């Protein structure tokens, strides 16, 4: 006359996306493959400094900005120079192409996207989260938002003279 009841609630739909699992310092992130154009390890002559804290990379005759993902996610111990890591060239709808600096590419897999809005709150630059096979939680990068925000803050930091040029 006694027992245990288990209730299992499954969502009607799951958002599944292909992603590239990357390490950035002490963080594990997922970059959606829909945004990825290519990945590369730059040669020193391909990277050009721009001001005090910015750099550009020459990819087949086209200069694109390098955005360290560590600055956007607050990662500790990440590569700070493009030659020390891997660049992932991404295409965005609003800002064009950019190169995301990561420490290493770990894997490429399909991930189930869990929204942060329903369980926490909206976080700029983050599209959601996923649970990896080993139980760790990885944030899914919102590439469009992150690149737009990084380029806008870099342009604001360079001052009004750079905007007029």
The tens digit of pLDDT for each residue in 15-34 reads 889 999 999 999 999 999 99
pLDDT of residue 48: 85
Prediction pTM value: 0.81
Q: What is the three-class DSSP state of 20?
A: strand
pLDDT of residue 104: 95
Q: What is the spatial distance between Cα 162 and Cα 134, in angstroms, rounded to a whole number?
A: 46
Residue 34 near residue 127 (C-beta atoms within 8 A): no
Q: What is the spatial distance between Cα 25 and Cα 128, in angstroms, rounded to a whole number?
A: 20
Nearest to 38 by CA among 60, 54, 56, 16: 60
- List the structure tokens of 95: 């800002």
Residues of the chain falling short of pLDDT 50: 161-165
pLDDT of residue 158: 59
Q: What is the spatial distance between Cα 55 and Cα 46, in angstroms, rounded to a whole number?
A: 10
């Amino acid at each position: 006359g006694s027992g245990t009841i288990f209730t299992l609630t499954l969502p009607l739909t799951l958002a599944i996306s292909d992603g590239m699992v990357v390490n950035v310092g002490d963080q594990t992130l997922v970059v959606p493959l829909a945004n990825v154009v290519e990945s590369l390890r730059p040669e020193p002559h391909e990277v050009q400094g721009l001001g005090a804290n910015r750099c550009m990379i020459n990819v087949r005759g086209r200069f694109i900005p390098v955005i360290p993902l560590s600055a956007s996610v607050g990662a500790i111990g990440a590569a700070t120079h493009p030659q020390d890591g891997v660049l992932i060239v991404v295409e965005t709808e609003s800002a064009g192409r950019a190169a995301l600096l990561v420490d290493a590419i770990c894997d490429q897999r399909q991930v189930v996207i869990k929204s942060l809005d329903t369980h926490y709150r909206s976080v700029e630059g983050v599209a959601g989260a996923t649970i990896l096979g080993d139980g760790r939680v990885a944030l899914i990068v919102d590439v469009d938002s992150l690149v737009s925000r990084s380029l806008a803050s870099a342009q604001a930091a360079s001052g009004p003279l750079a905007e007029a040029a």
